[in-house]
Structure 1
């Protein structure tokens, strides 16, 4: 079984943390937790990506 959902924390464009989960709800909880832990840092980008489709499901900060 392949882990489909990836959460990445990048600071100044460098990946600092990555994690993969099979279950989207678990990955979304991790995303929220990592925003709480790392979101206040300057120049941070946190993304949740569906590895199967390549789509970014959500990111922080939300620049839309």
Structure 2
């Protein structure tokens, strides 16, 4: 079976969890919808950790797509 291409770069969407400014977890996905779902999951699972910050970046464009908590 041949894998299907999605038209996006593999591991294009990078999700990062930091706590108190230190990296705690990373994840990469090739589909934005998957990455955004994971972002929501991570906010639910890790958002209450002391000093938690979760960021989703499009590595191809360098754009920050969303963060939690929101920027002031």
Please indicate, yes or no, whether the TM-score normalized by the shorter chain is above 0.5: yes
Instruction: Quote how far apart the aligned CAs of 1:63 are.
Output: 1.9
The one of 18, 21, 26 aligned to 1:13: 21
2:57 aligned counterpart, secondary structure: strand
Could you state the TM-score of these two structures normalised by the residue count of structure 1?
A: 0.93
Could you tell me how far apart the structure 2 residues matched to 1:41 and 1:3 are? 26
Which structure 1 residue ranges, 4+ long, deviate > 6 Å from structure 2?
none
Q: CA RMSD in A?
A: 1.0
Could you state the TM-score of these two structures normalised by the residue count of structure 2?
A: 0.83
Which is higher, the Rg of structure 1 or of structure 2?
Answer: 2
**When the two structures are aligned, how many residues end up with a matched partner?**
64
